[in-house]
Amino acid sequence: MSARPKKSFGQHFLHDRRFIDSIVSAIAPRSDDFLVEIGPGEGALTLPLLKVSGKLTAIELDTDLIPGLQARASGIGELHIVHADVLKIDFSAMAHSHGVPRLRLAGNLPYYISSPILFHCVEHAAAIQDMHFMLQKEVVERMAATPGSKVYGRLSVMLQLACRVEPLFDVPPEAFRPPPKVESAVVRLVPLPSHELHDARPEHVYAVVKAAFGQRRKTLANALKQLLDSDAIRRADIDPRARAETLAPEDFVRLAKVYSSQG
Ligand code: SAM
């Protein structure tokens, strides 16, 4: 029996077979993968993934959904459900404790916390092989945006420094129950082997990016004045009269390094 979807948990259950099949094909699970699903809900993706992979770990916050899901998985494969808030899950420790080098993450994410989930995953990028996420289309566009685009910002820079961002396909509201008010899209994220963030202190990159885009219409000299003066910006080989939206992701790493060197 289906539960009534809860708005407060961002529950929009996928029911259109074509999109479910496309997501499973994009993930292409193998039996030796360590697959982790975020927000399995009633199992729209969980059960087909389990059929192919044979085992899966799923993280679900809503207790009411867990017994039904566990029952539905019986006879299909080994489903391990973790009752937790995904933001509290230490993916690096999870990989380590299971003796696997890297996890494969997937999920039709709860949209109300999609950016915090993405930033959380980036923190654990070294323990992740890849991620396949359903998100609001507008969020996927921001993640993949390039300098100069209106939607290029904090999310684009932080994600592109850590991952290759590959938008895969769009999904209309009717594919879900209840339909969300927005269009959705599926994206693949592949952590970069030695990602640029490693060269700088991630919290400093984050501070610079946040300040720069906090006042995106101002020049960098103005937007960054609490962190870096014009000479310091020039030391990073960047024109202090430029605006944040014209900088490539790696430019922010150079700014963060100058910021770190100031002590
Ligand atoms: N995967 C299912 C599907 O495609 O039909 C459900 C997707 S629904 C958009 C999001 C799921 O994430 C829900 O099952 C919801 O209960 C769960 N969820 C919400 N917040 C969560 C959190 N902080 N941690 C883990 N799961 C969460």
Whether 209 lines ligand 1, by a CB cut-off of 6 Å, is: no
Q: What is the pLDDT of residues 163-218, one digit of tens each?
A: 999 999 999 999 999 999 999 999 999 999 866 566 788 889 999 999 999 988 89
Q: CA torsion sign, 141 to 146 to 152 to 157?
A: positive
- Count of C-beta atoms within a 10 Å radius of residue 93: 11
- pLDDT at position 198 is 64
Instruction: Note the pLDDT of residue 200.
Output: 82
Q: Which atom of ligand 1 is nearest to the CA of 85?
A: 24
200 CA to centre of ligand 1 in angstroms:
33
Q: What angle do CA 80, 84, 87 make, to 5 degrees?
A: 120
Q: Is 189 in the pocket of ligand 1 (CB under 6 A)?
A: no
61 lines ligand 1 (CB under 6 A): yes
**Cα 198 to middle of ligand 1, angstroms:** 31
Residue 39 Cα to ligand 1 midpoint, Å, equals 3
Residue 56: which H helix or E strand, with range?
A: strand 55-60
Q: Are 169 and 137 in contact (CB under 8 A)?
A: no
Please state, in angstroms and as integers, the Cα–Cα distance from residue 187 to each residue in 110, 163, 167, following that order: 15, 12, 4
**Whose C-alpha lies nearest to ligand 1, atom 10?**
110
What spacing in Å lies between the alpha carbon of 243 and ligand 1's midpoint? 37
Closest atom, ligand 1, to C-alpha of 117: 23
- Residue 193's pLDDT is 83
All structural domains of the chain: 7-196 (3.40.50.150), 202-262 (1.10.8.100)
Amino acid at 30: R
Question: What's the pLDDT score for residue 202?
Answer: 84
Query: Which candidate, 144, 149, 187, places its Cα nearest to that of 168?
Result: 187
29 lines ligand 1 (CB under 6 A): no
Q: CA 253 to CA 231: how far, in whole Å?
A: 17
Report pTM.
0.95
14 pocket-lining for ligand 1 (C-beta < 6 Å): yes
Segments in the chain below pLDDT 70: 1-3, 194-198, 263
